[in-house]
Amino acid sequence: MWDPDRYLVFAGQRARPFRDLIAQVAATDVREVADLGCGPGNLTVGLVERWPDAHVVGVDASADMIAAAPADGPVEFVHADLRDWTPTRPVDVLLSNATLQWVPGHLDLLPRLAGQLAAGGWLAFQVPGNFGEPSHVLLRELAAADRWSVLHDLTWPSVHEPGTYLEALLDLGLEVQVWETTYHHLLHGDDAVLEWVSGTALRPVLAALESPDERERFVAEYRELLRSAYRPGRYGTVLPYRRIFAVAQKP
């Protein structure tokens, strides 16, 4: 389903929430770091600079993403579903960047993730909170049209509100901070928002369509909807993007 090259088109802007997340992880004497849902590993490799004495492992369920990750660097990359993967020893920093929204019932996964932490270890994740934005609302509405019945059983990504994550992590006995940020990404080029979502939200839809002709027709319809919803300004097209962050430490 995933295309590493397309995902990396906006690599710089997609990286900022990751950097903002790890900036709040005040871990020291770190020996084991895991990045769950590491994608092509372009951000994971930077964790070695942050914690140079640690063993860093990146985990992703997409074979294509793992294949695109650096094979000869300091990071170990593993093809595995984060729901099944188990670390070989307790983890000092357990990260998940823009991944949990793809895991149905991921709130129930938090106890398992917290259980993988070493004493004093950190669990940090961020998820998009923008599913009420036109980019996603229009996508779901189009997929729900009668002519696209093949998409009616599609499972859509979803997240909870910040307060829900706060309470769930506090229930696990962790020290927690939760916050949200809305980024305003300035995008350039024709159909910039379509280009953005084609690396993420649009991927499951395209994977569910059986033929290239169907995919072309769906994208053409979606493109017109996005052009009406996101009109370029003097400096480019602005894409507001809300993100929800959680950082928790085990006592």
pLDDT at 12: 77
Q: What fold is seen in the domain 4-249?
A: Rossmann fold (3.40.50)
Task: Output the CA angle 58-242-203, nearest 5 degrees.
Answer: 55
What are the boundaries of each domain within the chain? 4-249
Contact 7, 200 (CB under 8 A): yes
pTM of structure: 0.93
Q: Which segments of the chain have a pLDDT < 50?
A: 2, 4
Two tokens at 244?
């929800």
Query: What confidence tens digit (pLDDT) does each residue in 155-199 have?
Result: 999 999 999 999 999 999 999 999 999 999 999 988 999 999 988
pLDDT at 2: 47
Contact 44, 11 (CB under 8 A): no
As a whole number of angstroms, the distance between CA 232 and CA 128 comes to 23
Q: In terms of C-beta density within 10 A (0-12 exposed, 13-18 middle, 19 or more buried), how is residue 72 classed?
A: exposed
As a whole number of angstroms, the distance between CA 180 and CA 155 comes to 25
| Residues present in the chain in total | 251
pLDDT at 71: 87
pLDDT at 10: 61
pLDDT at 94: 98
